[in-house]
Structure 1
């Protein structure tokens, strides 16, 4: 039975020691956790609550975030939720369990998975996608090793179905991503001639449908407030201003802004022409006067002297090209510094892209035009933004039919009391 701790300080000390010695977290991370825990406890004391329990901790999170979708929270709020839940778990169990599963890729099958992962890297897939495939294939390999299977030639649909039975049916996302990882892996082996038959056809289909999350959007005046707060008196500010305008006015992705070359700017035609990093499709957009002037201002008075073919460079030596993470960070910083309310909202370049789509919808722009502006492959992707057009949705509202009076009096009334 868990030992009862008498003080909150003792509780967070013990929890921190488990984080430090068992889960091998750094000492700075543990200090950070304890700062958040003490901050929460001071707020509880102000409410007259002096004893911490897991129920108190979870109610604290409910008071902070209500029923908000976890995916819609900012990174700071997600961290806060995780930190409080860690303390609740420790209070209940007296220990902590790592949720980061060690990836094991041993034996001949593990070598093939590593080869597949290297292939995904060569295709320039997102690191998160590659890690996802590797994670689920690692679990699959462990299962095959336990069954004594050492060759992919021994794999058939019955082995796959037996493995699927071991997955938690309460988590359909896990089953879906597992099937996807196995299917793409088997197809790769067939295409490389490692498998003589296309075993990927034996992988069953599921009816999983991912519900797209509601995008974060900002109003026009909020975006203007953020753009207006950027200090353009220095070289870094001139660069940041031009980058933010490309995201806000043209809806460019961070990867496309970071990868923009001089050859993509067609000044005489007042257009920007480039192949999108995400889709590989060519996209042509108008080079708006406001955007063009901001780029020229940066090139003349802010950009370091360099032979780099990329438009936007780092502000410090050796003045190499910027990357998409830098674009995201500077947009985040601009939003925070502007004083715009970013609570429970994403506030990166993609939020500016979402906001542009919302603005075009408000202006009754037809869907195919928005699809072209955003560079989507089809209007099906653009329909994702329809849910933020509240004005148009209100026009589709139906009146709620009146409830007849005899409904309340049937069977003696008071709902069958």
Structure 2
């Protein structure tokens, strides 16, 4: 049974309150949705309709010169209503794909593709990655004015791939791989009569020889000193950054860290790595342990959850898989005025690179560094030798001397 726009907004507001959102947040959504209701009334639409809501977004975005943050808010507000209208739920994150495809059949196709992906053992982050590339392909078909997916031909695939030429070889490989998966889905589920997945081609992936981005030991110390450990959010950030900088923990494992992984009796952190599936045991260093204790006792939301690190916004869930913590680190890098020059990366992964570089400078063996970083092969670790210029010079001198 269809719900009226007033029923949907009323139910969504009640759901937000039940999730523990603040009065300010609820009032902000109420104010925006009241404007949406007036727009529906003017258009004489009684029931909620995503197409009409998207019209309101475009008109409001054009008439009001708002910030990008505000535009993201109003899009989220609409997607909350759409989700609540369809299944009575509110999610923590929403992919904006519904606002980027106009053809209703394609929107439905993408939703069905997403549901099918859930039957596999993919993470939500991986599913959203594949949906994003599926959305881009369908968007291209709309530009080509192909609105009947059963008429899909190889020429449409070639046309789409030609738009990717400015991307790197690795990016093109990822995009065409995602496209192949989507094309297989179309064939296996009867949307098209021929398997066109082999038309997407392939890109040979070469091993990366780029120097990994890293920060000096002094820069990492400055960064940690600039974090306000009296602020609840920053207590959490300090503990997380310390875990990566001191122990080399991957951000995926950091977000999934549970209290059961903290072995206080043996002063170790024991977990199964998300990326490799290989168990790892790391020393629970004194400063890391005290940072975790300080966060849990004085800043962590007081809710029953097995995860150590939580979002500090209602409903206080574990950190999202889609949150790669890039902004978390970048915020403190900007505060310290540490320059981010050229293509130097400033994500959490760069702290792993920094740890590896520091260990190499201390003449730590590659095998031990591999164990610390959780690499399944020392070959993955050997790239960090390229950052040890002094050692490379020694190697060059030795080779020259041997040849004399």
Shorter-chain-normalised TM-score: which range? 0.5 to 0.7
Residue aligned with 2:150, SS? coil
RMSD: 4.5
Tell me what 1:375 maps to: 374
Aligned residues: 305
Secondary structure of the 1:272 match is strand
State whether residues 141 and 156 of structure 2, in contact with CA within 8 Å, keep that contact through their aligned partners in structure 1. no
Instruction: Tell me what 2:218 maps to.
Output: 221
Alignment correspondent of 1:136: 137
Q: Which residue matches 2:357? A: 358
The reply on whether 1:206 has 2:244 as its aligned counterpart is no
What does residue 125 of structure 1 align with?
125
Counterpart CA distance in 2 for 1:105 and 1:383 is: 48
CA deviation string 1:113-145 (max 9, x = no partner): 543344457722354554234313542576593
The alpha-carbon distance between structure 1 residues 165 and 320, as it changes in their structure 2 partners (threshold 3 A), is closer
Q: Which residue does the alignment assign to 1:332?
A: 330
Q: 2:281 aligns with which of 260, 284, 287?
A: 284
Match of 2:84 in 1: none
By how many angstroms is 1:265 displaced?
Answer: 1.0
Pick from 312, 319, 327: which aligns with 2:309? 312
Range with greater deviation from structure 2 (250-259 or 377-386): 377-386
8 Å contact kept, 2:213–2:353: yes
How far did residue 353 of structure 1 move? 1.6
1:72-116 deviations in whole A, cap 9, x for unaligned? Answer: xxxxxxxxxxxxxxxxxxxxxxxxxxxx9x954758777545433
Could you tell me how far apart the structure 2 residues matched to 1:117 and 1:213 are? 35
Kindly name which structure, 1 or 2, has the bigger radius of gyration based on alpha carbons.
1
Verify: 1:145 aligned to 2:143, yes or no: no
Q: Deviations over 1:220-249 (max 9, x none)?
A: 112112223334345555433322210110
| Match runs of 1:15-34 below 5 Å | 24=62, 27-29=65-67
1:300 to 1:190, Cα distance in 2 relative to 1, 3 A: same
Tell me how far apart the structure 2 counterparts of residues 140 and 383 of structure 1 sit (CA, whole Å).
44
Q: CA deviation at 1:326?
A: 8.8
Deviation string 1:268-319 (CA, Å, 9 cap, x unpaired) is 2322223444555543322222212222233344444332222234557765
Q: CA deviation at 1:262?
A: 0.8
Aligned residue for 1:283, secondary structure, equals strand
| Whole-Å separation in 2 of the counterparts to 1:387 and 1:225 | 25
Tell which deviates more after alignment, 311-320 or 226-235.
Answer: 311-320
Contact 2:181–2:197 (8 Å) recurs in 1: yes
Partner residue of 2:15? none
Which of 280, 291, 294 is the aligned partner of 2:291?
294
2:373 and 2:273 mapped to 1: Cα distance?
Answer: 10
User: Is this contact kept in 1: 2:149–2:191, CA < 8 A?
Assistant: no
Instruction: List gaps (5 residues or longer) in structure 1.
Output: 1-19, 31-99, 402-417
Correspondence list, 1:12-411, <5 A: 24=62, 27-29=65-67, 103-104=100-101, 106=103, 112-120=109-117, 123=122, 124-126=124-126, 127=128, 130-139=131-140, 145=146, 150=150, 159=155, 163=159, 173=169, 176=173, 179-189=176-186, 199-201=196-198, 203-207=200-204, 209=206, 211=208, 214-233=211-230, 235-314=232-311, 320-323=317-320, 325=323, 327-344=325-342, 345-397=344-396
CA contact (8 A) 1:270 1:286 kept: yes
- Judge conservation of contact 1:328–1:349 (CA < 8 Å) in 2: yes
How far is the alpha carbon of 1:263 from its aligned partner?
1.3
